[in-house]
Amino acid sequence: MSGAHLAVVVPSFNEAARLPLLLADLAACPADVMAELVVVDGGSRDGTPQLARLGGAQVMHAQASRGWQLQRGVAATTAPWLLLLHADARLQPGWSEALRRAMAAPEAVWAFDLAVEGPGVALRLLEWAVRLRSQLRRLPYGDQGLLLPRALLERAGGIPPLPLMEDLLLIQRLQHLAPIRRLGCPLQVNGRRWQRHGVLGTAWRNARLRQAWRRGISPQHLAHRYYGSDGAKPLISPECG
């Protein structure tokens, strides 16, 4: 692979404590791999956009709807490969080599292995279950990061502009178009929700949200329920999605 082929897009909302750590990880990416880095902020009030600029990212502003933010960020880039990351993620050693290998392989969708920050057997069992789901059901979620060719995303209809469940809908579309594979490299996410609600409580809450979404409950309503239970209230426009 010659030339920089990768655009990284990160939606953010009040992630001043975590986003700089991710940007520091990305700063170590070889120049011949990453061509563009875009952070799309959804109205943060904690200085996240300013920190993103200091971290070397192009900063855009959009309504606080994760799918819409990702869609805007992707549209602002041109590289043939896309890496979609959540703002609270941390890249682990070997990640850039894993991306390089994946981008040199035949067309596919790639996801990291989930690693949740924090100690405890319950979190390790959770990580194992997510790896199993990704391997057997080809069903990674957005917090695992998604690496895919831009042309494949376009064939899937782009990123659904939803405030929640945009990752599940996108993966369901991609399953019909290309193999979905594990990168074999961990991506660490903040364990705050798992610690606040407990592993079983969080898994049950997420399952109920997915079930409600399949029953036709609007993603906007589900997003208010999801973020509200964590004490966060992003301004989600009813026009999104």
**Domain-embedded: residue 221:** no
The pLDDT of residue 36: 96
Which run of H or E residues covers position 150? Answer: helix 150-155
**Domain-embedded: residue 211:** no
Burial 154-167 (b: 16+ CB within 10 A, else e): eebebbbbbbbbbb
pLDDT 10s per residue in the chain (241 long)?
445 699 999 999 999 999 999 999 999 998 889 999 999 999 999 999 999 999 999 999 999 999 999 999 999 999 999 999 999 999 999 999 999 999 998 899 999 999 999 999 999 999 999 999 999 999 999 999 999 999 999 999 999 998 889 999 999 999 999 999 999 999 999 988 888 888 888 888 888 888 888 888 888 888 888 776 554 444 444 333 3
Which residues face 9 on adjacent strands?
Answer: 38, 84
**Domain-embedded: residue 32:** yes
Cα-based angle 67, 211, 71 (whole degrees, multiple of 5): 5
Residue 7: name the closest of 51, 39, 48 by CA.
39
| HSE-up of residue 7 (Cα within 13 Å, Cβ side) | 19
CATH of the domain at 148: 3.90.550.10
The pLDDT of residue 4: 63
| CA–CA dist 4, 176 (Å, integer) | 28
> Can you tell me which residue has the tokens 């490299």?
185
**Domain-embedded: residue 163:** yes
- The packing angle between helices 121-136 and 199-214, to 10°, is 30
Which residues contact residue 10 at a Cβ distance below 8 angstroms, ignoring those fewer than 6 apart?
19, 22, 37, 38, 39, 40, 57, 73, 84, 85, 86, 87
**Domain-embedded: residue 203:** no
The pLDDT of residue 200: 86
The CA distances from residue 205 to 28, 164, 185, 209, 241, in Å, are 36, 14, 27, 6, 22
**Domain-embedded: residue 83:** yes
pTM above 0.75, yes or no: yes
Total domains, the chain: 1
**Domain-embedded: residue 54:** yes
Is residue 120 a contact partner of residue 44, using CB atoms and an 8 Å limit? no
C-alpha 16: how far from chain center:
17
For residue 65, the enclosing domain spans 6-193
Is residue 73 a contact partner of residue 38, using CB atoms and an 8 Å limit? yes
Q: What DSSP letter does each residue of 81-114 carry, written as one string?
A: EEEE--TT-EE-TTHHHHHHHHHHSSS-EEEEEE
